[in-house]
Amino acid sequence: MVSPTYSTYLSVWKFNDNFGVINIENAYCKLGPYTCKMDKDSQCSITIYTTSPNKNETCLSEWSVYGVTDINNNERSLSNLDLPMFNIVSQNPDSYSIEPHESSLTHPNLPLLQHCSLISINIGFPSSESLLNDTNSYGLEIYAEFRTGGFDFNGDGKQDFMVSHSITKKIYVFFGDISRYGDQRPLKVSMIDGINGFSINIPKIQIRNYFLCGDINNDGYDEIIIRVLNGQLKIIYGHAGPFKNDFSNFDGIEGFVIDYVYTLDSRFASYQVICDHNGDGINDLIFNTLDDVVVLYGLDNGKKFPTNSGIFDFNFVSNGTLGHILQNKNSINLGCGDLNNDGIDDIVILSDTDTGIVSFGLKIYPTIYNPLLNGKNGFTMKMKANSFEYVLQIGFGDFNGDGLQDMAVVTYDSKSIYMIYGKKDGIWESHFDINSGNSSEVVKWVRNVSSPEKLCTSMYFGDINGDGISDLSCNDDKNEITWGV
């Protein structure tokens, strides 16, 4: 029997089944208890690896839990439990009885860990996975992991990518240039040897959200930035090598730690972005804490950030030397790009309220910056953060080919995308009406106008088809598809 119980302190649903206790919190996958945080109005999906009765097959079960409603401000009801690889035998308001589909445990040759992820080399939007093969793409022996790409850690001019791994519980960086791997398919983490890439000794269970990469000390090598569960930011400096195969040295020379630590089980203080928010031509690192949004200015000429035994001295931000602070409590999701097209990137801040903030970039800031948004220095808009901190809710790019950066935002319920067109020397109202109906300023995308359905869980941006105009792709977890335009 599967009996959901609610813990007020931990905000966790607990289910008991034949495999033992499955705790659902934060949507990470690992061998052992599985957890996925449930918040009001949120959807949560998780991939579970189990072992077949003969102990020699790794089997996959996908759980999707959604429809959480608030009963009396301190309890929640579970209105739907979707177990795609299980049969629900019986169901009542208090419990579920389930059994695995036979094929999910006894398939003789279940290839769950082969070619589960595909990276296309030269097909922007393949209409079918059948178009992808060893000549135009390569498979990864990895499924449903944290991953990112499009950065150059070793400065060889080729794009690298990194991915977590549920079995080894580590993070792996694969250096670009497919010729490194010969004809071997799929790519495997066993190929990582300190030459083709390296591993990072941070357990997957500790990863707070997606990896962030970018050059924040202006030396031509992209840094790797990882947020862990206690709120710390762990930064690894990019360089040309040699590389240790298992990186773990955050000593201030090879990497460092921003030690903002908290103990609350909270969706706040979980996000970070990179952009040039002070217009000096160097990327800044912007991240949130429970009370503030912190802008750490990038350094020039490959300088290292000041640390004490590898821990960054936060006083360099609080005194204004290396950054400034926006006092914005309980922010969840951040975005960064040049919406007013003045050459300085702007910050977007979304929280659990209906008021989103766009703060235009400046060249000089006070140590504590709390602007009264008046349309000249920024504006507000009706937009709430998706409480699931793993999603990419905000993005920037020139989506209409007019040479100006635009901004796209997914609504908290994942049912709409608002495309706000950028302006140069334009006039912004202090409160931007995203539902104005003025298609020259904002366009709303939906699936099924009469009754909007899930459209986009997390967005990605880039010129995928190489025509010079930014493209947008979305993961739609509800319908289990990825689409692009």
The rounded distance, in Å, linking the Cα atoms of 396 and 406 is 6
Phi-psi domain of 27 (left: phi exceeds 0; alpha: psi -120 through 50; beta: other)? left
Q: What does the pLDDT read at residue 137?
A: 73
CATH 2.130.10 fits 134-388, yes or no: yes
pLDDT at 125: 59
Q: Which residues of the chain have pLDDT under 50?
A: 1-118
Contact 255, 247 (CB under 8 A): yes
Q: What is the pTM of this model?
A: 0.75
Which residue, 390, 428, 395, 421, is CA-closest to 410?
395
164, 146 contact by CB (below 8 A): yes
Nearest in space to 360 (alpha carbons), one of 458, 291, 275: 275
Cβ-contact 314, 283 below 8 angstroms: no
pLDDT recorded at residue 120: 53
- What's the rounded Cα separation, in Å, for the pair 474 and 415? 12
pLDDT (0 to 100) of residue 38: 37
Distant-in-sequence, close-in-space partners of 421: CB < 8 Å, separation ≥ 6: 400, 402, 404, 406, 440, 441, 442, 443
Kindly state the tokens that stand for 383.
């937009």
Return the structure tokens found at 190. 């066993």
Nearest to 173 by CA among 114, 255, 243, 122: 243
The reported pLDDT for the residue numbered 172 is 94
